[in-house]
């Protein structure tokens, strides 16, 4: 059985009806957002892209809870002369069903940038890692991950090209970006690791 390298399962509430996003190889794709509460009460508002044929198979107008199975994807866009990395959930299956909120991610890929280790003002250890997760046709998704505590310290010892397997959740984070025309509120998306499998030589 082939090991999963990129899978996400979400269950949450539809924020608004899907809007047309783009067309690719005569297939139409739509974008919408899903609200997924954490145990802490914080709500992650996550972007989802789904093909029209998947959406046509159900009635989304009543705003029921949705269970989405798919992958976390990235896409590079150029805006104002700079590149921006868009992170989103690519839906492969959608069900209208009630139940407890879900936000479960499994990723495996190569570290493609030197890990960044730091401590919060309260002393909590954090490590930021960028994973290149392989996709079909020799493509890859570049996904920002954040690790905590002892796992963060272990990840900080990793090198680029080391393989890392992460289980966690996809989360949204609002921050303020200062630009030439003032400050604006933006949202970042990252995978918060609950556990990680490291290369043996860093443990």
Q: What is the pLDDT of residues 46-91, one digit of tens each?
A: 999 999 999 998 876 666 799 999 999 999 887 666 778 899 999 9
Confidence band of 164 (pLDDT split at 50, 70, 90): very high
Mean pLDDT value of segment 168-196: 89
The per-residue pLDDT of the chain, averaged, comes to 91
Torsion angles phi and psi, residue 151, rounded to 5: -60, -35
Mean pLDDT value of segment 113-123: 93
Taking the CB of residue 184, how many other CB atoms lie within 10 A of it? 9
Mean pLDDT value of segment 132-147: 94
Helix (H, G, I), strand (E, B) or coil at 113: coil
Residue 146 has pLDDT above 80, yes or no: yes
Domains and CATH numbers, the chain: 6-102 (2.40.50.140), 106-202 (2.40.50.140)
The reported pLDDT for the residue numbered 58 is: 80
| Six-digit token string for 32 | 């919408």
Q: Please list, residue by residue across 28-42, b when 16 or more beta carbons sit within 10 angstroms of its beta carbon and e when fewer do.
A: ebbebbbebeeeeee
* pTM passes above 0.95: no
- DSSP letters, 31-84, are EEEEEEE-TTS-EEEEEEEEEHHHHTTS--TT--EEEEEEEEEEEEEEETTEEE
Phi-psi region of 182 (alpha: psi -120 to 50; beta: other; left: phi over 0): left
The reported pLDDT for the residue numbered 136 is: 84
The reported pLDDT for the residue numbered 129 is: 97
| Six-digit token string for 160 | 């680029």
Residue 203 has pLDDT above 60, yes or no: no
């Amino acid at each position: 059985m082939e090991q999963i390298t990129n899978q996400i399962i979400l269950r949450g509430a539809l924020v608004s009806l899907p809007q047309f996003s783009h067309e690719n190889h005569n297939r139409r794709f739509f974008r919408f957002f899903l609200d997924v509460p954490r145990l802490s009460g914080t709500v992650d508002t996550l972007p989802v892209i789904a093909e029209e044929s998947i959406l046509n198979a159900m009635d989304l107008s009543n705003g029921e809870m949705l269970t989405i199975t798919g992958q976390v994807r990235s896409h590079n866009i150029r805006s104002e002369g700079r590149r921006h990395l868009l992170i989103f959930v690519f839906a492969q299956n959608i069900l209208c069903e009630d139940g407890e909120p879900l936000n479960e991610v499994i990723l495996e890929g190569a570290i493609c940038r030197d890990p960044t280790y730091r401590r919060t003002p309260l002393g909590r250890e954090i490590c930021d890692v960028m994973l290149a997760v392989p996709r079909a046709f020799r493509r890859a998704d570049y996904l920002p991950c954040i690790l905590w505590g002892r796992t963060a310290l272990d990840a900080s010892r990793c090198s680029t090209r080391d393989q890392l397997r992460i289980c966690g959740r996809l989360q949204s984070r609002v921050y303020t970006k200062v630009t030439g025309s003032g400050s604006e509120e933006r949202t970042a998306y990252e995978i918060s690791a609950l556990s990680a499998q490291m290369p043996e030589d860093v443990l």
